[in-house]
Amino acid sequence: MNLLRLAILALVGCGVGFAAGAPALPVVGQPLPAWTRGELDIHQINTGTGNAAFFIFPDGTTLLLDAASVDRSETRPPFYDAPPRPDRSLRPGQWIVQYIRRMHPDGPGGALDYAMLTHFHDDHMGSLTPGAPKSKLGSYRLTGITDVGDEVPIRRMLDRGWPGYDFPRPLESDMIRNYRRFLAWQHEHRGLVIERFVPGRNDQLVLRRDPRAFPTVEIRNLAANGWVWTGTGTETRNRFTGGAVPDENNCSLAFRLTYGAFRYFNGGDMTGMLQPGDPACADMESAVAWVTGPVDVLAEDHHGYDNAASGFFLSVLQPRVHILSVYAASQPSPGVMRRMLSEQLYPGPRDIFLTNTDWPGRREHLFRLFGPADA
């Protein structure tokens, strides 16, 4: 499978120890070595349909962040989307399951300690199409996160909407109704715990197996539903005031993962470049930047679409590594690429990883979207 793995193998000064010496380093073209205790693995799983990331924390706690399965219907232009990875023989959610089973520290039968949806778009949770098969377990259909949860038990589910799914207005799409039926069945029959992601907290996502051995690990909830941590205690403030409400992308949850000196940021699809007619509060990136601070790795907001990765945001976070989950011809935009590479925003080297870079027909769409200079 086409993927990006970030394995944090050694962190100076964070007190990490390994029971059996240093873990094996990945070798290009070879299967990834298994996770070892003390290692932080971040696997960006590429099915060509949106976001999915699998985390293995230093004590073996696991997290699945998003599980995409975007609809490739005839309404989308031919070749606009990246090809399915690795192929069409399985649904995207089934490929995610295969990957988790291969890399899980407990082997193929391992459960997920956490699953989390950054927001309710199909490139993060799965499109509900007429052809989506029915689950053999409950009265829901299989796509994205429901495909994964049918096969891999999930112990705790976090999202932005539980329990009412009524912000900023009642969420009543077929996709949400299907997801809620999945949650209800999993709660009743498998004991799934469901929680609303709460900005400001650092005790909602925690190490489940041996937290005392790794005291420098912290997952700080930064934002969700337009509310942002202030940096003091668990206090938050509402970015959207005066009757303004965030759109779905700016409802995205955001968090900062710290392990010793290492820092990682993920903000779902929040935006930072205002479009014509946008209120100033629609710049969520600026509101989050100061409480995030510099990071080593940035999972780029909104797949690198042109309304994200603002210059101010990048100048504050100053990531050494950028990760972009690319599945469409508009990702990343030329402007985002220029800002990521600009040493006028922040100095020093940086690496940029895209899950998909080129495919047949993509350049034609780049020409139409951005013109010949950037295609």
Mean pLDDT of the chain: 91
* In contact, 138 and 40? CB cutoff 8 Å: no
Residue 15 scores a pLDDT above 80: no
Instruction: Return the pLDDT at 72.
Output: 79
Instruction: Return the pLDDT at 308.
Output: 97
Instruction: Give the single-character DSSP code of 250.
Output: G
Give the pTM. 0.93
Torsion of CA 123, 131, 155, 202, to 10 degrees: 20
Instruction: Return the pLDDT at 277.
Output: 86
Query: For the residues 79-84, what does the mean pLDDT come to?
Result: 89
Instruction: Return the pLDDT at 367.
Output: 76
3-state SS class at 54: strand
Torsion of CA 77, 362, 276, 126, to 10 degrees: 60
Residue 1 scores a pLDDT above 50: no
- Sign of the alpha-carbon dihedral angle for 220, 226, 227, 228: positive
Instruction: Return the pLDDT at 18.
Output: 30
* In contact, 356 and 82? CB cutoff 8 Å: yes
Q: Tell me: the pLDDT tens digits for 188-226? A: 999 999 999 999 999 999 999 999 999 999 999 999 999
Range from 21-30, 187-196, 279-288 carrying the lowest mean pLDDT = 21-30
Tokens 């949400």, located at residue: 176
Query: For the residues 131-151, what does the mean pLDDT come to?
Result: 97
